Amino acid sequence: MSGVELNLDNRVALITGGSRGIGAETVRLFAAAGARVIFSYQRAQERAEALVAECGGPERCRAVQQELSTPAEGRALVEQAVAEFGRLDALVVNHGIWPPMDAPIAAMTDAQWRNTMGVNLDSVFGLVQGAVAQMLGQPPIVAGAIRGHVVLISSTAGQRGEANHADYAVTKGALISLTKSLSSELAPQGIRVNCVAPGWVDTEMSAASLKHPEIGPRIAAGIPVGRAATAREIAGPVLFLCTALAGFISGEVLNVNGGAVLVG
230-263 confidence digits (pLDDT tens): 999 999 999 999 999 999 999 999 999 999 877 6
**Model-level pTM?**
0.94
Active-site annotation holds for 168: yes
In the chain, the number of structural domains is: 1
* Domain containing residue 181: CATH number: 3.40.50.720
Evaluate whether residue 263 is within a structural domain: no
Q: Answer yes or no: is 3 within a domain.
A: no
- On whether residue 238 sits in a domain, the answer given is yes
* Residue 4 belongs to some domain of the structure: no
Q: Are 179 and 194 in contact (CB under 8 A)?
A: yes
Q: For 86-109, how does the pLDDT look when each residue is reduced to its tens digit (9 = 90+)? A: 999 999 999 999 888 899 999 999
β-strand 191-198 against 253-256: which pairing, if any?
parallel
Structural domain harbouring 210:
12-258
Q: Is residue 237 part of a domain?
A: yes
pLDDT at 143: 62
Q: Is residue 264 part of a domain?
A: no
Cβ atoms of 99 and 169 within 8 Å: the answer is: no
Residue 193 lies in a domain: yes
Residue ranges of the chain with per-residue pLDDT less than 50: 1
Is the residue at 7 inside a domain? no
CA distances from 206 to 90, 222, 229 (A): 27, 15, 11
Of 30, 168, 200, 240, which is the active-site residue?
168
